[in-house]
Amino acid sequence: MNWLYLVGIVVFVLGLMISIGLHEIGHLVPAKLFGVRVTQYMVGFGSTAWSMRRGETEYGIKWIPFGGYIRMIGMLPPRPGDDPTKVRSSATGPFQGLIESARDAAQEEVRPGDEDRVFYRKKWWQKVIIMSGGPAMNFVLSFVFFSILLVGIGLPTWAPIVSPETDTCVIPMTEKRDTCKSTDKPTPAAQAGMKPGDRMVSLDGQKIVSWDDATRLIRTHGAGPADLGIIRDGKPMTLHVTLIAQDRPNPQDPKKIDKNVGFLGVLPTEVMEKQSIGQVLGYMGELTGRVAGSILNLPEKMVGIWHAAFSGDERDPEGPVGVVGAGRMGGEILASDLSNEKKIAIFVNLLAGFNLAIGMFNLIPLLPLDGGHIAGGLWEGIKRGYARIMRRPEPGYVDIAKVLPLTYAIALVMVVMAGLLAYADLVNPITLTR
């Protein structure tokens, strides 16, 4: 195995762990600011690889880098009406017993003097801020990564610059070959003396800015003479070309053939085009819509993952990818023949996309996700606001313990989904070459 492949996996996992760590800091900082006692800050799951204690909080790294957490005391309120001086009657029923066990576990870490430092007693808006901090950090990281990509590196785009791979002869579409024969006619570009590196800037006085401009103007011109403005070695020039009519694939739908369109015979050059900060927001907005659609269609997507894992169906390139699959992509990127600039760009794009997806997924209003706690805090705020308006007694805290059975069921589904994704990423991964 190529050592660069392994390095790529390690680099991506490190980037992912940093993202996870910052997500948890997004929870940790407001929790401490609002006085909640935080006993643990951990990156990863499983057994602890390293930890240290600073004040009342243990900071550490665990061996399985698939997540992280902070442990806040008093996440669940005690049972309404409990009297700590009396023995509470035992719960009946499996679900009720599960809820009461969770309550007991939540209260075990509450020490004398911690009454105002438990999470459940904080104001509703403080709970919302604490639980929104993680996804918010992911969105900030996503914006930073996308800004580095678009503004600092640029997006790959086809420029109207003649590529060195341009053929100098007209090869019929029906013939699947890349080399010219002695019987092939020279292209109009070759006859006019075009060279690799020439930038097309106009056709018969009409401005060419992008490769799409060049394609549109050449095709619509049809067969016949034209004046082609170019820049060669920094100097503007005009070439007299005679376009010919050819059947060519449609740029938007390659399966469709456009008949007798104008043909020059040049290939574009891929360049990294830098964008503005405003375009970063537009790019993120468009991608956010696509990610939201993927989350809404997640059950259907997971069916496709099942068929890909066990029936050998082709993976959907727009479908979900787990940490294992993303790590493999990181290795493939670094071991590829791409330029260093493109490798960095793809790496940054991968981390940006993962942070955006993690942030949005965590906003789903279901426990154990952050969105479930956010929804609980908002509901508590609505209830208290309504009671204040109607001059009614202030309602109690929202008791999320009542939905713990559903929470555990959702957690189990998430574990199964993560396992299925990991298996599919191992046996039938999405690769850059597909």
CB contact burial 317-335 (16+ within 10 A = b; e otherwise):
eebbbbbbbbbbbbbbbbb
- Measured distance CA(170)–CA(246) in Å, rounded: 9
Rg (C-alpha) for the chain, rounded Å, is 30
What are the phi and psi torsion angles at 262 (to 5°)?
Answer: -65, 140
Choice among 24, 100, 332, 380 that is catalytic: 24
Of 329, 432, 371, nearest to 138 (Cα)?
371
Helices and strands per DSSP (H, E), number in the chain: 11, 9
CA distance 351 to 395: 43
Residue position matching structure tokens 């990127």: 333
B/e letters for 375-389, b = 16+ CB within 10 Å, e = fewer, are: bbbbebbebbeeeee
Question: Is the CB of residue 239 less than 8 Å from the CB of residue 232?
Answer: no
> Any catalytic annotation for residue 109?
no
Using alpha carbons, list the distances in angstroms from residue 248 to 183, 216, 255, 268. 20, 12, 10, 16
For 192-227, the DSSP string reads: HT--TTPEEEEETTEE--SHHHHHHHHHHH-SEEEE
Cβ atoms of residues 409 and 367 within 8 Å:
no
Q: Element (H or E) spanning 241, and its range?
A: strand 235-249
Q: Which of the residues are catalytic?
A: 24
